[in-house]
Amino acid sequence: MTALHGGRLGTWIKLPALESVQIVAHAAFDFVVIDQEHAPLDLRTVYELVTVAQALGVPPLVRVADGAPSGIQRLLDAGAAGVLIPHIDTVEQARAAAAAVRFPPAGRRGAGGTSRAGRWGLLSREEYLATSDSALCVPQIESRQAVGNAAAIAAVEGVDALFVGAADLGLDIGAAPSAPEVSELCGTALDAAHAAGIPCGAATATPQGAAALLAQGFDFVVVGNDTSMLAEAATATVHAIRGDGGPR
């Protein structure tokens, strides 16, 4: 779990471009989260992004589109360091997510030792099965119900961290992500994770926001994303030259 401890900084990867991973790796981000929930990334593209991230020493997590065990299994067999699973509201959903990440008897993941995670069959069965011990299962807490169940979700065997989604929490309660009510809910989830002895993360769009989250006690922060960084740099370049670089 070292990838998610000690004030680690990551960023979302949304573009189907290997260069995105290379650029953020060279920028010294601690990890990346490849985003299948809000970006049109297919399995083959994610496989390639994971491979490049690992080659550069940057742990690649994947935010899956949903908690389907078949999708989680294929991503872990592709070599992903772990998965973020959106909209985990109940203990039962958290148990199902953890089971999809772990091999029996701890879970229900199927064996695929000839995959990339098993070095295409070169690892022994024992070595391949041991890879699930280090795979990260990270439920996303994104509703009032989820916050209410956060302590129980964090205590589920096989859950390695929580990730708080302030944007969806705000949607759930009808408030802006920066509203005091949302901040209070995020703090409750953070406290629940720490009480269970696991790290808790959150996301923000800005460096200032990341610093504030780390100061609040969050263990890892996902800041910005490749698409927005490109958009902001492009807009700033045009504005600096012509003074009219606003979005079209």
Q: How far apart are CA 81 and CA 62, in angstroms?
A: 8
Task: Report CA dihedral (220, 64, 228, 53) to the nearest 10 degrees.
Answer: 70
Q: Are residues 245 and 238 in contact, defined by beta-carbon separation less than 8 angstroms?
A: yes
* H or E, element range at 198: none
**Shortest CA distance to 226 belongs to which of 49, 12, 37, 40?**
12
Alpha helix (H) residue ranges in 68-165: 69-77, 91-101, 125-134, 144-148, 150-154
Sole residue written with tokens 């067999």: 77
**Shortest CA distance to 201 belongs to which of 141, 134, 132, 133?**
141
Among residues 5, 38, 194, 239, the one annotated as catalytic is 38
Give the pairing type, strands 200-204 and 220-225. parallel
Q: Is 239 in the active site?
A: no
Active site residues: 38
